Amino acid sequence: MVVQPNAHIGMVCRDLEKSIGFYKKFMGMREKFTLYYGDMIPQDPEWLAKIPQERIDWLKSVADVKWIVYLEWPHGPEGYFLEFFHELDAHIDNPPSKEKFGLNHLDIVVDDIQAFYQDMITKGGEEFIDILPGPSICRSYTMWFHDPDGNQVEVHQYTDISMQRIGRELPKGVVWP
């Protein structure tokens, strides 16, 4: 058995269009496909019979409403996505925090963190930036921002001596800020 890296990370959005617009604008992601609430209505009569009529009626009433949108990374390996849910009955904010168990943040890697930061500023993303680019304890450069739903995103620019590349031991004679 081979376990591969995650295929997607799913997030429930307060405003689906605003969220997917944010990730398209600031990360260059592309829409791969969209599922609608009506897609949950089984075509097979046997499966359809197992779903309460009340649920079927509700699904029919919102059949043309977007339910899930998959965005694809512009430069990542094929098959890696962010999945955005438009749950019509969602009503409780659950932003990531250090006081809660569960998903804490999403991390992306860029080849030029200053260029990424400047691009966010140029595109009007200053309000989303939480921590400016700078050196981190793991010998990478990092910055932090949040999306319209409060999900935290960490940005890494690895260096030749980043712990993510060479582990914890610093090569002799090398000094990190």
Q: Please tell me the total number of residues recorded for the chain in this structure.
A: 177
Helices of type H across the chain:
16-27, 45-48, 53-61, 113-122, 163-166
Q: Are strands 81-85 and 106-109 parallel, antiparallel or unpaired?
A: unpaired
pTM comes to: 0.81
Mind listing the pLDDT tens digit for each residue in 24-82?
Answer: 999 999 999 999 999 999 889 998 999 999 999 999 999 999 999 999 988 877 778 99
Question: Which domains does the chain show, CATH number per domain?
Answer: 1-92 (no CATH), 93-177 (3.10.180.10)
Distance CA 163, CA 160 (A): 9
**Mean pLDDT for all residues in the chain:** 89
Query: How far from each other are the two terminal CA atoms of the chain, in whole angstroms?
Result: 42
Show the tokens assigned to 38: 């009506």
